[in-house]
């Protein structure tokens, strides 16, 4: 069988949807383990990954599957308790990078690759800030114990920033090195490509 662009899009979408299913299962596991906040975060990841397909009506509209797979691994590792802090930092960084890649690939916004990495880091920091607010209210209303000291809070911010720089640099390398399968053709959308 000849590998055509359409086949590449279907393979990318299939692998991406499989990973999205894994994220959904991780959300269920988080809720079962009384980690409601992480369950909600996992559902958010699944929704964000699904947005291009939902808005375009094309099930093959998906960011490159390695991004979704790494996000799925991070969310799943966090759900089952494997290195929960590092997995949480990676999950937040991957959510930010998926958002940035979706903006670049599925909208008229054109981001240079280096700028996309910087924008991804800033997006991860913004998501971490929102996550800290969610943790604060979870501690207050649900009786959880996410935020114990200011030093731990600052370490979380620094850790997410470092993780997003590392992951963003790897994504930059990936995008420069490999053709991104599964991304909507800009010329078909009437959008000027790079």
> How much is the pLDDT for 124?
94
pLDDT digits (tens, 9 = 90+) for 15-36: 999 999 999 999 999 999 988 8
d(CA 173, CA 143): 42
Closest among 65, 76, 70, 68 to 39, alpha carbons compared: 76
> How much is the pLDDT for 6?
66
Contact criterion met (CB below 8 Å) for 104 and 189: no
The encoded tokens of residue 156 equal 């979380």
The encoded tokens of residue 88 equal 């949480």
d(CA 19, CA 36): 21
> How much is the pLDDT for 143?
84
Other C-beta atoms lying within 10 Å of the C-beta of residue 159: 18
pLDDT digits (tens, 9 = 90+) for 51-66: 999 999 999 999 989 9
* pLDDT tens digit at each of 194 positions of the chain: 444 566 778 899 999 999 999 999 999 999 999 888 999 999 999 999 999 999 999 999 999 899 999 999 999 999 998 998 999 999 999 999 999 999 988 989 888 888 988 999 999 999 999 999 998 898 889 888 888 888 888 999 999 999 999 998 888 887 777 654 444 444 444 444 44
The encoded tokens of residue 29 equal 């596991």
* Strand, helix or coil for residue 131: helix
Alpha carbon of residue 167 to chain centroid: 11
> How much is the pLDDT for 177?
75
> To the nearest 5 percent, what fractions of the chain are helix, strand and coil?
75, 0, 25
Residues 6+ apart with CB under 8 A from 164: 92, 93, 96, 97, 120, 121, 124, 125
């Amino acid at each position: 069988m000849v590998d055509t662009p359409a086949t590449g899009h279907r393979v990318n979408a299939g692998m991406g949807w499989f990973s999205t299913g894994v994220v959904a299962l991780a959300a269920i596991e988080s809720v079962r383990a009384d980690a409601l906040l992480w369950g909600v975060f996992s559902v958010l990841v699944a929704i964000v990954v699904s947005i291009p397909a939902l808005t375009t009506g094309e099930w093959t509209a998906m960011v490159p599957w390695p991004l979704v797979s790494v996000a799925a691994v991070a969310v799943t590792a966090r759900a089952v308790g494997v290195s929960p802090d590092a997995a949480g930092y990676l999950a937040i960084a991957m959510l930010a990078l998926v958002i940035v890649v979706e903006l670049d690939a599925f909208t008229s916004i054109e981001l240079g690759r280096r700028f996309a990495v910087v924008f991804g880091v800033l997006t991860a920091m913004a998501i971490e800030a929102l996550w800290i607010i969610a943790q604060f209210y979870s501690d207050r209303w649900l009786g959880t114990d996410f935020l114990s000291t200011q030093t731990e809070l600052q370490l979380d911010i620094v850790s997410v920033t470092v993780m997003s720089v590392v992951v963003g640099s790897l994504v930059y390398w990936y995008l420069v090195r490999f053709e991104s399968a599964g991304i909507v053709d800009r010329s078909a959308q009437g959008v000027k490509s790079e």
